[in-house]
A and B are shown apart, each in its own frame.
Chain A
Amino acid sequence: MAKDHRAGSKVRGDKLPAILMASHLLEGDTVFLSESGWTLDPSAARIAHDAETSAAMEAEGKAAASANIVIDPYLVPVDLTESGLPLARHFRDAMRQRGPSIHPDMGKQAEFAPLD
């Protein structure tokens, strides 16, 4: 997707904590960088609390894009729930974490435990 439409970058203020989101090249699913590799599960996303970690994650994303595994990785600013799960701050990124609002039976919300 076009870089100029990324929502995370529109979030004002603190960009941390953050997760790294991308699309899987072969499948098309939204994926998240986890502690080890890529995951489909939004709850398993690795969370960067400091700039050093987020830079490392971004570099890992770029490498995966160069290796033709994912497309368009980008950092997504999140808030943490009480149980420490990452909730995207921007409504567009939140839509990607959950799935279409009109189809609760489809997407992440249907396949994984809810974030909130």
Chain B
Amino acid sequence: MYRYDEFDERFVRERVAQFRGQVERRLDGSLSEDEFKPLRLKNGLYLQLHAYMLRIAVPYGTMNSRQLRQLAHIAETYDKGYGHFTTRQNLQFNWPKLKDVPEILDLLADVEMHCIQTSGNCIRNVTSDQFAGVAKDEVEDPRPTAELLRQWSSLHPEFVWLPRKFKIAVTGAEHDRAAIKVHDIGLKLKRDDAGEIGYEVSVGGGLGRTPMIGKIIKDFLPKSELLAYLEAVMRVYNSEGRRDNKYKARVKILVHETGEDEFRAMVEEEYAKLDGPTINAPQEEVERIAAYFASPAYETLPETSATLAKAQANDPALARFVEQNGFAHKQPGYIALTIALKEIGAVPGDMSAAQMRAFADIAERYSFDEFRVTHSQNLVLPHVKQDDVPAVFAALKEAGLASANAGLITDIIACPGLDYCALATAKSIPIAQAIAKTFADEERQKKIGLLPIKISGCINACGHHHVGAIGILGLEKGGRENYQITVGGDASEHAALGERLGPGIDAADVPAAIEAIVETYLGEKQGGESFMETVRRTGPEPFKAGFTAFIESRTLETEAVG
């Protein structure tokens, strides 16, 4: 993975000193709260319901054991002994004190980490495919691009006061695991007819109040022109994006209101005026960054491991874990393993300091000292020797990290919701916990198969509910929490927004409503179809009918009891 050089090191250190100064100037009144707020947000510091929250950048979701051990140390020293992985591949601490934040930032800088631009109206932490460098269907590893963008976007003088937040995702694979179509800019590495590598550029995707799928504004951008082209996009957005209404300030609204073709023409006009060579990264610099992402020193091994096969035959739990959480590795004899932070009844994405340390040991010993954070609030051990899987599984079990439910109905994404968040209108995590408990039975989960449920506790959609196969949105209605349910959302290359099934329901009714939706699926399913395949074939109608029937039965029940 990437390592800081003297410039990166000094940059991060000076950024810490800058923030320390900003805190002092807030306390002595030089900065008002209105002025300080965006400054602290650009350093990942929010004020939530009970305390501040610090969001730490995990650039494109890649970390090593030393970094995770430092996070464990911070969690125990300055927080309440745990951290929370988010849908942006970042990590949040929920209880830091403002006075401690500069020290926390120092500790992060010690392990080449920071909180730069994890919030605020600027270019946010760049996200990517959690299987980057591992997947067989990859044209090129997206991480060097993501790292270049991390550097280029860090304290960009022109683009730190944008109309609204701006999220960039990069994928190098055919199968989109980075949800690029629901990002402000989505980059897909591809080859042109001549075999040259470049990017397909989408702009204007996003969730939130007005969910939209990104539009392709450039079919093929030569790799060397990336920064200049993005600068053109950003300048058009910074100049023309709406600033009169924060709900209409994202670039998706500009693209929508301007029209895709007109927006493309504006970008091209700006791009034509730019002096590309003075903006683009020197080729040697691109190569220097890429060299950090060379494959680790794999052993030459047979495609499959006899040791693992034998162990799986003797241990059904191990077999289930490998089947459900294993991901095919491009290197023979290796496997990538998803660690689902989704034990039944646990808080999705939470990890205790003890688990962090145990997991750091596992990653160091068995995965070339590297792991990934996924946007599903899970972790990945990207390079495990198949021979080592039984030992890894045993160590994960010991740490309470061996849930064999990756991608299943209990592997739920949930934003922090009203339990922590100042913006939330309803609870989110308790809904996830209740659904997971309802479907706790392993055989039942297996029968239902892949079914990503995504829950947001407000319209801002941090839980990505629009692109959940089943999406749940918590709102406030008449002084109560109320939940709307959608089906058919998809964040992959088949990006689609879910359709609402009917009126909102009470929290207590959500698990049973999900059961009704699952029953509809099992009834409609043909052959080996997954939930999403069935929804794509049937459309939402049967699900709406099933949901309506559920609501009617609930009303009758309530009347009978009442």
Interface set of A (CB-CB < 8 Å, partner B):
1-2, 5, 10-12, 23, 25-30, 65, 68, 71-72, 90-92, 95-96, 99-103, 106-108
Q: Does B419 make an interface contact (CB < 8 A)?
A: yes
Q: A1-B422, A101-B430 are in contact. Are A91 and B33 (CB under 8 A)?
A: no
- Give a binary string over B27-53; 1 marks a CB under 8 Å from any A CB, 0 the rest: 111000100000000000001111110
Q: Does B230 make an interface contact (CB < 8 A)?
A: no
Q: A71 vs B479: C-alpha distance in the bound complex, in angstroms?
A: 25
Minimum distance in angstroms from A109 CB to a CB of chain B: 10
Question: Contacts A30-B49, A68-B26, A91-B481 given; 7 further ones with Cβ under 8 A?
Answer: A2-B422, A25-B33, A27-B97, A28-B52, A71-B47, A72-B33, A101-B427
Are B429 and A102 in contact, CB atoms less than 8 angstroms apart?
yes
B96 touches which of A28, A68, A101 (Cβ 8 Å): A28
Are A29 and B27 in contact, CB atoms less than 8 angstroms apart?
no
Q: A30 vs B433: C-alpha distance in the bound complex, in angstroms?
A: 26
Interface set of B (CB-CB < 8 Å, partner A):
26-29, 33, 47-52, 80, 95-99, 347, 418-420, 422-424, 427, 429-430, 433, 476, 479-481
Q: A10-B476, A90-B479, A95-B418 are in contact. Are A100 and B98 (CB under 8 A)?
A: no
A96 touches which of B28, B49, B480 (Cβ 8 Å): B49
- Which residues of the partner chain B approach A29 to less than 8 Å between Cβ atoms? 50-51
B423 touches which of A5, A68, A91 (Cβ 8 Å): A5
Q: Nearest CB to that of B426 among chain A residues?
A: A91
Q: A2-B422, A5-B422, A25-B27 are in contact. Are A100 and B50 (CB under 8 A)?
A: yes
Pairs A-B, 7 closest by C-beta atoms: A1-B422, A28-B52, A100-B419, A28-B51, A96-B49, A27-B97, A102-B419
Are A26 and B430 in contact, CB atoms less than 8 angstroms apart?
no
B97 touches which of A26, A92, A106 (Cβ 8 Å): A26
Are A26 and B419 in contact, CB atoms less than 8 angstroms apart?
no
Minimum distance in angstroms from A15 CB to a CB of chain B: 14
Are B49 and A95 in contact, CB atoms less than 8 angstroms apart?
yes
Are A28 and B422 in contact, CB atoms less than 8 angstroms apart?
no
Q: Nearest CB to that of B31 among chain A residues?
A: A68
Minimum distance in angstroms from A10 CB to a CB of chain B: 7
Q: A56 vs B422: C-alpha distance in the bound complex, in angstroms?
A: 26
- Which residues of the partner chain B approach A12 to less than 8 Å between Cβ atoms? 479
Q: A1 vs B48: C-alpha distance in the bound complex, in angstroms?
A: 7
- Which residues of the partner chain B approach A95 to less than 8 Å between Cβ atoms? 49, 418-419
Q: A5-B422, A27-B98 are in contact. Are A92 and B47 (CB under 8 A)?
A: no
- Which residues of the partner chain B approach A25 to less than 8 Å between Cβ atoms? 26-27, 33, 98
- Which residues of the partner chain B approach A27 to less than 8 Å between Cβ atoms? 51, 97-99
- Which residues of the partner chain A approach B347 to less than 8 Å between Cβ atoms? 102
Are B433 and A102 in contact, CB atoms less than 8 angstroms apart?
yes
- Which residues of the partner chain B approach A68 to less than 8 Å between Cβ atoms? 26-29
Minimum distance in angstroms from B302 CB to a CB of chain A: 46
Q: A103 vs B99: C-alpha distance in the bound complex, in angstroms?
A: 24
Minimum distance in angstroms from A30 CB to a CB of chain B: 6
- Which residues of the partner chain B approach A28 to less than 8 Å between Cβ atoms? 47, 51-52, 95-98
- Which residues of the partner chain B approach A11 to less than 8 Å between Cβ atoms? 479
Minimum distance in angstroms from A105 CB to a CB of chain B: 9
Are A99 and B429 in contact, CB atoms less than 8 angstroms apart?
no
Q: A90 vs B97: C-alpha distance in the bound complex, in angstroms?
A: 26
Q: Nearest CB to that of B422 among chain A residues?
A: A1
Q: A71 vs B48: C-alpha distance in the bound complex, in angstroms?
A: 11
Q: A100 vs B218: C-alpha distance in the bound complex, in angstroms?
A: 46
- Which residues of the partner chain B approach A92 to less than 8 Å between Cβ atoms? 49, 418, 424
Q: A28 vs B96: C-alpha distance in the bound complex, in angstroms?
A: 8
